[in-house]
Amino acid sequence: MARGGKNPGSRSAVESNVTPTEDAGGPRRKICRPEYREEHLEPNTIFLVQQDEVEASYPTSLSKLLKDIMTRRVSKAPSIQEVRTRKSLQELSDYPAESQVASFFERMVFTDKREGAANFLLRHERVWMKKIHVPKNPESDTEVSTPVPDMLYGYSHRHSTPFSKEELRTQTRVLPGGLAAANSSRLRFPFLVIEIKGDEPFRQAVNQCLGGASTCVRITNRLNEKIQLLPAAQATPVETAAFSVAINNLIAGVYVTWFHNNKYLTREVEQFSLNSRKPDDFIRLYHVIQNILHWGQGKRLNEIKAGLAALTE
């Protein structure tokens, strides 16, 4: 599903690249297996958990973040009437191919046109994440498939968009050997993974989200480990949680992933119907995704920049 181009009026770019040395079919075949979660994810400390299993162990910052993400804000979301009039959701039932579902969400949700602030986000499509970042338990005989998300949001590595030269130098110094880059296109500190299917099993998209989001958490956690070595007065940790969205032609699920007790834990935040008779579900999904992107280009980015400043002093 190669899609690319720049969105008009936005500083967010879209890059697409499938590494030719990788077998694009192999990881997908592995992830499609019913046993993938039990045989590959869980042995490598990646778990899908229920809310009642983990809510008491949430860091305070994560609880507040989830509350903010689920708060509906003013934005140019499609109205219920617009969704009904354009029969947008009906397209997903009529044309359930993966490419059609992806096209619909690019047109209706992932437009990268947010109000009120310069957009420093970068979106990569179908670019392999670096294997060195993928969680791996040395005691496990199996591995997690290297993520190649349909969409991956993070930050540009180019000077002033959004990092200064000094901030980029600090990243390279404290995360040497290419650890500052999430993929071969040098995306920095990704925080949102999108996995899209057509009429294929939803579980496949969720499995991909588990691996991709855990990899995002590990990347940011590397920076946090450096910050935590600073004197207490200087050490302000970065929120390392990441989000993911699994989509097929019937439903979309939003997930949050965080690191706790040496495990990558993921739970479903909410599931949304894409049935044309439930347009309000789609509108709520739109708001949640826009809130995640707003957090990524605002509070989260500011925390990362503050951490880099502390590491520079």
Min mean pLDDT across 58-62, 150-154, 252-256, 284-288 is at: 58-62
Q: Is the pLDDT of residue 245 over 90?
A: yes
pLDDT for 55 equals: 67
Min mean pLDDT across 32-41, 68-77, 259-268 is at: 68-77
Percentage of the chain beyond pLDDT 90 is 64
| Residue 116 pLDDT level (bands cut at 50, 70, 90) | very low
Residue closest to 120 by CA, chosen among 259, 301, 306: 301
Q: Is the pLDDT of residue 153 over 80?
A: yes
What mean pLDDT value characterizes the chain? 86
Q: How far apart are CA 244 and CA 216, in angstroms?
A: 10
Mean pLDDT confidence for 83-97: 77
Q: Is the pLDDT of residue 58 over 80?
A: no
**For 263-306, what is each residue's pLDDT tens digit?**
999 999 999 999 888 889 999 999 999 999 999 999 999 999 99
| Residue 113 pLDDT level (bands cut at 50, 70, 90) | very low
pLDDT for 11 equals: 37
Min mean pLDDT across 72-86, 87-101, 183-197, 206-220 is at: 72-86
Q: How far apart are CA 246 and CA 196, in angstroms?
A: 6
Q: How far apart are CA 255 and CA 209, in angstroms?
A: 8
What is the pTM (predicted TM-score) of this model? Answer: 0.89
pLDDT for 52 equals: 77
Q: Is the pLDDT of residue 19 over 70?
A: no
Residue ranges of domains in the chain: 42-312
